[in-house]
Amino acid sequence: MSQENLPEAFTSEFIINNPAGQDFQVNRRALADPKVLEAEMRHIFDTCWIYVGHASEVREPGDFQTRSVCGRPLILCRDSQNRLRVFLNACRHRAAVVCREREGNAKSYFCFYHGWSYNRDGELDGVPGRASYPDSFDATKLGLAEPPHVGVYKDFVFVSFNPQAQPLEDYLAGAKEYIDLIVEQSPSGRMEVIRGTQEYDIRANWKLLVENSFDDYHLMTTHSTWLNYMKRSGVEIKKPERGHLMPAHGVGKALGNGHAVIDNVNFRGRPVAKWIPLYGEEAKPEIERIRAELVDRLGEARATRVADTNRNLVVFPNLVLNDGSSITIRTFHPLAADHMQVRAWALGPVEETPKARAIRLDSFLTFYGPGGFATPDDVEALESVQKGLATFREVPWSVMSRGMSKVGEQLNTDELHLRAFWLRWHELMAPTFEE
Ligand code: FES
Ligand code: FE
């Protein structure tokens, strides 16, 4: 979405969008009111495609991961034929959760309450005292339920609770191109989630983490400690050119359906082919080898695109793929209007050597980890915003107009990509607005 095809000007109780007047504002009640969250659960989380997990997290028949998605307990698993399945984790008898482990391999799912059990295909195959049920009792109709739609794009697994959902690939729109740039880092096109999950809660509205995940305007201030550390470690941090705030060029782009990205020239190293002193001299040959493989396979131009740029991608509404010095899959769900639960995993090529994998995991922890250079500062910023939002009745509007006067390219420190998210949010939420 360029500036030219932004929607017509409008003003609602939540958004002021006035491209001609170069004004865009978001009403802070959208980030603070429990009633807004209630409407979001139905009009956003029950409408869109929502990320559940990665196919590599379940590999063998019976492998499972339990997840909490859109307020529902789910089982992401492989059935008896090794097909990827997603079940609603609720017993058909009286709704108790049938799989209470976080992950593992199950021969069957056994409900601890009255003892009903389900096989790997979700079929009800055990009912204690079955003879006492009348003839109308039909076990074949009482298997574990499934969401209306499950979709997989390049091993990223999504569900939709919307029976009328459009096909996943159509929904992903321009975000596919950026997922492809991630997957192409593997010679075989196979990426895997590396064991271990980062888990933390933030006392802030979930949409603040959407904004923060690709808001480069805050990098130089909020993350100055990290930038100083990089500098001290011998990484070249250039002085921003005139008109820029960042050490390297980067743009913000809208990708359709509310998805958006910041697409940056990499200055901070990548275990796919960009060495920095921080990785140590001994890692240099390995990283050069990875680069040579990329060039061989993809050609110089595409290898440069994959390796020398990095990206923070938001797949609307709540999936973030941070493909920088590591690749982080981050998803988050609201627990309350001012509280979210965050889950993050590291992703890497299956072929990666232990050395490259160690660099990746170190980067995963060092920057985006809950104790890393970025996340504690971001959490502090978001919780501070949420505190300030308590004044929304007195100061209702937040300004989001950076870059609106520009024709053409928008920088990563502009706010076109944030506006794209909010415009889609507005479109989906509009039926709930007061007349
Ligand atoms: Fe599962 Fe009763 S709730 S057996
Ligand atoms: Fe940050």
Residues 411/252, Cβ–Cβ less than 8 Å: yes
State the distance from the centre of ligand 1 to the C-alpha of 98, rounded, in angstroms: 8
- Please give the Cα distance from 150 to 71 (Å, whole number): 17
Q: Which atom of ligand 1 is nearest to the CA of 92?
A: 1
Tell whether ligand 1 has an atom less than 6 A from the beta carbon of residue 93: yes
Q: Is the CB of 96 under 6 A from ligand 1?
A: yes
Query: Cα torsion at 19, 24, 29, 30 (round to 10°)?
Result: 70
Q: Would you call the peptide bond into 376 cis, given omega within 30 degrees of 0 as the criterion?
A: no
Choosing from 93, 108, 142 the residue with most ligand 1 atoms within 8 A of its CB, the one to mutate for a pocket test is: 93
User: Which atom of ligand 1 has the smallest separation from the CA of 98?
Assistant: 1
Q: Please state, in angstroms and rounded to a whole number, the distance separating the CA atoms of residues 144 and 205.
A: 32
How many helices (DSSP H) and strands (DSSP E) are in the chain?
Answer: 11, 21
CA angle 156, 53, 381 (to 5 degrees): 105
Structural class in CATH, domain 53-152:
mainly beta
Q: Which ligand is nearest to the CA of 90?
A: 1
Q: DSSP assignment of 256-319, as one string?
A: ETTEEEEEEE--S-BTTTB--GGG-GGGHHHHHHHHHHHHHHH-HHHHHHHHHEEEEEEETTTE
Query: Residue 111 CA: which ligand 1 atom is closest?
Result: 1
Q: Answer whether 91 contacts ligand 1 (Cβ < 6 A).
A: yes
Domain locations in the chain?
A: 3-46+167-434, 53-152
d(CA 312, CA 162): 27
Instruction: Please work out whether the CB of residue 227 comes within 6 Å of at least one atom of ligand 1.
Output: no
pLDDT at 435: 59
Q: Hey, what CATH topology would domain 3-46+167-434 get?
A: Naphthalene 1,2-dioxygenase Alpha Subunit; Chain A, domain 1 (3.90.380)
Q: Does the C-beta of 203 come closer than 6 Å to ligand 1? A: no
Per-residue pLDDT reduced to its tens digit, 41-68: 999 999 999 999 999 999 999 999 999 9
Q: Is the CB of 111 under 6 A from ligand 1?
A: yes
90 Cα to the center of ligand 1, angstroms: 9
Task: Return the residue whose CA atom lies nearest to atom 3 of ligand 1.
Answer: 94
Protein residue closest via CA to atom 4 of ligand 1 = 114
Rounded Cα gap, residues 319 and 408, in angstroms: 27
CA separation for the pair 384, 188 (Å, rounded): 44
Q: Are 153 and 172 in contact (CB under 8 A)?
A: yes
Residue nearest to atom 2 of ligand 1 (CA): 114
Mean pLDDT of the chain: 94
Mark out the alpha helices in 128-283 (DSSP H runs): 168-172, 175-183, 206-213, 219-222, 224-232
The dihedral sign for the CA sequence 355, 300, 183, 269: positive
Alpha-carbon span 52 to 75, nearest angstrom: 9
CB atoms within 5 A of ion ligand 2 belong to: 374, 378
> Closest-lying ligand to the alpha carbon of 320?
2
Task: Write out the chain's pLDDT in tens, 435 residues.
Answer: 444 455 689 999 999 999 999 999 999 999 999 999 999 999 999 999 999 999 999 999 999 999 999 999 999 999 999 999 999 999 999 999 999 999 999 999 999 999 999 999 999 999 999 999 999 999 999 999 999 999 999 999 999 999 999 999 999 999 999 999 999 999 999 999 998 899 999 999 999 999 999 999 999 899 988 888 888 888 888 888 777 788 888 999 999 999 999 999 988 888 887 888 888 888 899 999 999 999 999 999 999 999 999 999 999 999 999 999 899 999 999 999 999 999 999 999 999 999 899 999 998 998 888 888 889 999 999 999 999 999 999 999 999 999 999 988 999 999 999 999 999 999 999 999 875
Query: Is there a common fold for 3-46+167-434 and 53-152?
Result: no
Q: Kindly give the distance from the C-alpha atom of residue 379 to the centroid of ligand 2, in angstroms, as a whole number.
A: 9
Q: Can you give the pTM of this predicted structure? A: 0.96
Determine whether the shortest distance from the Cβ of 313 to ligand 1 is under 6 A. Answer: no
